[in-house]
Structure 1
Amino acid sequence: MSRRTAHPPRRAPAGRTPRARSTAVGAGTAALLLLTGACATGPAGPGAGAGTPTGTVTVFAAASLKESFTTLGRRFEKAHPGTEVAFNFGGSDSLAAGITNGAPADVFAAASAKTMKIVTDHGDTAGDPATFARNRLEIATLPGNPRGITSLSDLARPGLKVVLCDRTVPCGAAARTALAVAGVGVTPASYERDVKSALTKVELKEADAAVVYRTDVRAAGDRVEGVEFPEAAEAGTDYPIALLEHAPNPTAAKAFLTLVRSAEGRRVLDGAGFLKP
């Protein structure tokens, strides 16, 4: 076993004062700390950094959110240079199925609490979803309402072509509730996979009317005309949003959630016709 040999203390080299030695040691320590910090930090990846959004955030959102979320996505990218918001809009049920089957996504915004529960029960949400908006149904008719539709009961008239959303998607479920409250039976010309598809049937004059959300009627502008009906109050739908458990970019996802629920997000949603939760 080796032994440490004691040596008499060395004298400082000529011309090097104790102050100079202290300065040299301090500079060396600073350089070491700087190097250590650089190694610990490593290269920045998607969402890297303490709360600094970077990279792509993937948002699965109900079709009725297309216009408002597209606006929010542009604002998010402008506020956070170097980010990109990639949207997948569609029927909430098909989006939920994709998530539970492992589709990579960061955020899910559904058009009903029931659809969100599918994802939550599967263990695919990180924390509890938050309701950020409500929506209400309207009847979309051709411009000028040439068939004179004023109520849900008019949709049962013979010869009238009516389209509804598929029963499995939130707008279809809400329409069935409203029709049941009104005591009206309707045999639709078709069931559509999401609310945008139902509205398109009217826009293309392939249907006389469709039961859709008021936000979609507003987004369509002068291509359709909206008819309100009192039973819509009984068939309102909540819109929950959640960070997903296996989000590839959780930092950017949290920042997008914050924007949606912020005062700025509320203004965009209000402008699209959504109601406060």
Structure 2
Amino acid sequence: MFGHAEIHDGVEVLDVGTGCGYGAALLARRLGDDRVTSVDVDPYLTKAAAERLDLIGLHPRIVTADATGPLTGEYDRIVATVSVRPIPPSWLQVLRPGGRLVTTIADTTIIVVADKTPDGGAAGRVMWDRAGFMRTRHGDDYPPDELADRFREIHDREGDEVTRGRYPVVEVAEAWELQSMLEVVAPGIEHWYDEDDEGRRTALMVHPDGSWARATAMRDEAPIVHQGGPRRLWDLLDRIRHRRLVEGSLPLYGSRVRITPDGVVHLRRGRWTAVIGP
């Protein structure tokens, strides 16, 4: 992430996601304490990181705050090791003219690199590289995990529609390009996957709008797919997989990025376009 940011002498950096303090340590050693600000929402993490940094003689500015909210200062670089969707407008507000931000989009592995534009937004591209980070939190506790119950509910449900899928069952969360493309065009889908000792694969998909899908088959067979709710999630996945087979790749990686001042991300590559908003 720092490589994509093109860190060099004299720049001031906002490190979003202090965590253990490792990133802040690298930046402070490279640039000096007075050119590094690191922010995290969790007071335990910021306190522990500051203590670790003090032990090795480094004292960047460590701030406990929600990085998606109002921020102070001005920076030449903003590098996030947490993921967001969309880009917080406050990042663009504190980014100096010509400054660069580097971040990942929540629930994808795409790295967005964009430089500040005169209109208060930013422009750049999705890099031919991948990274994955946890979502930003808005408090010092982690949200409850309710997915297990939702997956149990659909594990044996018959569904409104039962069909045979076009392609073998895939573990979407481990197919990074596929998962990222699906998240951009149909955000909010959660995934569960299992493969038994005999090679039978089962994949579940759920969405907050009530849509769900379950696909089951032996390793290389076309699956039986049960789907319910307002959308057919497995059909969405199959259309993306078909596009990759027909065109040889998906258009997401390498796409051009335009970020408006309100943080909405507009993607374009050839005829393909997509919008990443709230």
If the length of structure 1 is used for normalisation, what is the TM-score?
Answer: 0.24
**Structure with the bigger percentage of helix:** 1
Higher RCO (Cα < 8 Å, 6 or more apart): 1
**Structure with the bigger percentage of strand:** 2
If the length of structure 2 is used for normalisation, what is the TM-score?
Answer: 0.24
Larger radius of gyration: 1
